[in-house]
Amino acid sequence: MTLGRMLTQLFVANMLTFGNGTVMAAILQQSFVQQAGVLTNDQLLYAFALARVTPGQANLYVASIAYMMFGLPGSVLSILVIALPSYLMIPLLHSYEFLRGNRLVLNMTRGLGATAVGLLLATTWNLAKDSMTAPVTWVVLALGLALLVFTRLPTVVSLLAATAAGMVLVVALGLAG
């Protein structure tokens, strides 16, 4: 894979997902892991997790991916490719005000939302099936989901609690593998 091809795929994925970094992960997983084989699922998960726990745009994890593939030049160029379309969309927002009440536009927007949810589920499954190999990972997943769904705890607190429980299980009970 060349730098130009990677940047083109990032641009297309960004445009197809309207800059939604989480949804874009499904397309990048398909392109870079399954088709081109230039990244592993673990590398993609590492870049994605790193971006989720640091402040900034949700789709800047692609800079980590580009760094893994092409070093600093790839990382810098990937940020430009990801950020530029949002700035180009600003003039179009004025036009959207005229179309917002249009039933066709409203239905298309709802359809895009449903598609995004489907892509999120597909991404979750594709990334989880290779990394959820130890029983402790399933315990952490179940605990995290239970805390998110059945309590009013903030998301960060729920995730930290599930992570801490997983660490206790691994260290105290030796359930790593």
Q: What global pTM score does this model have?
A: 0.64
**Residue 177 confidence (pLDDT):** 54
pLDDT tens-digit series, residues 3-58: 999 999 999 888 877 767 777 888 888 899 989 999 998 898 888 888 777 777 77
Give the residue among 44, 50, 53 at the shortest CA–CA distance from 24: 44
Q: For residue 86, what are the contacts with CB-CB under 8 A and spacing of at least 6?
A: 19
Contact 176/134 with Cβ under 8 angstroms?
A: yes
Neighbours of 169 (CB within 10 A): 18
Q: What is the mean pLDDT of the chain?
A: 84
Please report which helix (H) or strand (E) contains residue 154, including its range: none
Amino acid at 37: G
Query: Residue 71 is which amino acid?
Result: G
In three-state secondary structure terms, 84 is: helix
- Mean predicted confidence (pLDDT) in 92-118: 79
Query: Do 42 and 109 contact (CB within 8 A), yes or no?
Result: no
For residue 119, give both structure tokens: 């892509």
Biggest CA–CA distance in the chain, Å, is 61
Q: Which residue has the higher pLDDT, 123 or 143?
A: 143
Domain boundaries defined on the chain: 3-131, 132-177
Is 32:38 a contact under the CB 8 Å cutoff?
yes
Instruction: Round to whole Å and give the CA distance between 33 and 20.
Output: 19
| Residue 100 pLDDT greater than 80, yes or no | no
Helices of type H across 53-102 = 61-99
Extract the tokens encoding 169: 């299980």
Calculate mean pLDDT across residues 128-140.
83
Q: How many CB atoms lie within 10 A of CB 125?
A: 11
Task: Return the closest-CA partner of residue 89 out of 18, 171, 175.
Answer: 18
Angle at alpha carbon of residue 111, lines to 109 and 116, rounded to 5°: 95
